[in-house]
């Protein structure tokens, strides 16, 4: 059997239609989009066409879309520049945010740019305590709130609408890391009370090294990267043209087939949950698994305590199965998942994050369960 890829929350394979679109740009469009001659103008047209397409799918206006190098830069820009522009001294977040948020806030606190970071309470499944969030906003009404839409390790969803309403009520600036949910859910920014949204193309079958930041038209922030007048003076540097075109194409495909893909992937996730429960006694799930409260592409599983439990991912890998123990951005770290640590998730058990895409099948999951069952039975503590 060919390798089975179940690490789509880390990155997704490029869609063939996206590759074709990007190759055409690489072969035929080489002008610098800042140049005023014909070759430059035609490349500028490609960028603005992509911006218009992305904006349309978000119900935004093109001027609200700024292309970046990916989700990390988008998150950094929103937080660093939002805090600086509005002279915000207090930020409300959670302790299970992506490191692109967590480490950025740590740095701002260390440098004295902000005075305090408050952490909203979460439960054992990673759900936000909205009453506690409101109490924090009452105490610090002019704050930045940075809470992700779906946790990248657990899949637990946050109610963006509810957070946005609270932020509006207490005059807070709301940044939402939507890297895991762009292309999987409809984000109508005319209905959401949100100031910033982030996207990374490689999470939705687009290219790596490109993303975008949505900035609500009611606010204007200073740049993070200086150097040129690109992105309407918001991000210096020659644009990644074929990346931007690839992002727009991937975003279009995701939206065109969103419901079909959601049904297919949700069925796979439910199928794997049922098979694991039936075949491996004592298996537990981290985060929400209720479809209404959980990102359908992510399933975090804790297996029974076993000998060589820390080798579970390696054993899966040598059996042709690619998965992860948490965020791929933390690979190489020996301190474990900060997300699982925060929710006290089965600390002595080996945990695996399986994340699915439109390409996965039930036959692949049957193979995975069979291999997992064998690995557990061979290593289980008696």
| Catalytic site positions | 329
CA distances from 175 to 76, 91, 184, 193, 216 (A): 10, 10, 19, 10, 10
Pinpoint the alpha helices (H) of 29-98: 38-58, 71-76, 82-85
Query: How many CB atoms within 10 Å of residue 133?
Result: 24
User: CA-CA distance, 275 to 269, in Å (whole number)?
Assistant: 10
Listed in sequence order, the residues at least 6 apart from 42 whose beta carbon sits closer than 8 Å to its beta carbon are: 29, 31
Query: How many CB atoms within 10 Å of residue 338?
Result: 18
User: CA-CA distance, 57 to 80, in Å (whole number)?
Assistant: 26
Q: Which two tokens stand for residue 29?
A: 């469009």
Burial of 365 (0-12, 13-18, 19+ CB in 10 A): buried
Do 147 and 137 form a contact (C-beta atoms < 8 A)?
Answer: no
From 163, 328, 186, select the one nearest 254 (Cα to Cα). 186
Pinpoint the alpha helices (H) of the chain: 16-28, 38-58, 71-76, 82-85, 99-110, 130-139, 160-169, 230-233, 241-256, 258-279, 312-318, 338-342, 362-379
């Amino acid at each position: 059997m060919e390798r089975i890829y179940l690490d789509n929350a880390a990155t997704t394979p490029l869609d063939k239609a996206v590759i074709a679109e990007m190759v055409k740009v690489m072969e035929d469009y080489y002008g610098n989009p800042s140049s005023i001659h014909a070759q430059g103008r035609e490349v500028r047209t490609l960028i603005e066409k992509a911006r218009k397409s992305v904006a349309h799918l978000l119900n935004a206006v093109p001027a609200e879309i700024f292309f970046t190098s990916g989700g990390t830069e988008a998150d950094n820009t929103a937080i660093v520049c939002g805090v600086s522009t509005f002279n915000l001294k207090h930020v409300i977040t959670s302790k299970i945010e992506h490191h692109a948020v967590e480490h950025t806030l740590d740095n701002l606190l260390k440098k004295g740019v902000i005075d305090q970071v408050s952490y909203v309470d979460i439960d054992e499944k990673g759900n936000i305590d909205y009453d506690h969030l409101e109490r924090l906003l009452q105490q610090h009404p002019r704050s930045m709130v940075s809470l992700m839409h779906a946790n990248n390790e657990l899949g637990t969803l946050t109610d963006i609408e509810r957070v946005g309403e609270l932020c509006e009520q207490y005059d807070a600036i709301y940044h939402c890391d939507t890297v895991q949910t762009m292309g999987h859910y409809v984000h109508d920014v005319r209905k959401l009370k949100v100031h910033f949204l982030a996207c990374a193309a490689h999470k939705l079958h687009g290219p790596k090294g490109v993303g975008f930041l949505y900035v609500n038209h009611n606010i204007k922030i200073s740049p993070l990267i200086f150097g040129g007048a690109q992105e309407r003076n918001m991000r210096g540097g020659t644009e990644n043209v074929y990346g931007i075109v690839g992002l727009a194409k991937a975003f279009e495909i995701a939206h065109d087939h969103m419901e079909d893909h959601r049904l297919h992937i949700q069925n796979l996730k439910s199928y794997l949950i049922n098979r694991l429960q039936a075949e491996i006694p004592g298996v537990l799930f981290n985060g929400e698994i209720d479809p209404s409260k959980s990102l359908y592409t992510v399933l975090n599983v804790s297996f029974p305590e076993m000998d060589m439990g820390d080798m579970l991912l390696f054993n899966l890998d040598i059996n042709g199965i690619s998965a992860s123990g948490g965020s791929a951005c933390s690979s190489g770290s020996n301190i474990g998942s900060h997300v699982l640590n925060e929710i006290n998730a089965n600390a002595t058990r080996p945990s695996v994050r399986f994340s699915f895409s439109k390409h996965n099948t039930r036959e692949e999951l049957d193979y995975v369960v069979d291999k997992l069952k064998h690995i557990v039975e061979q290593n289980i503590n008696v």
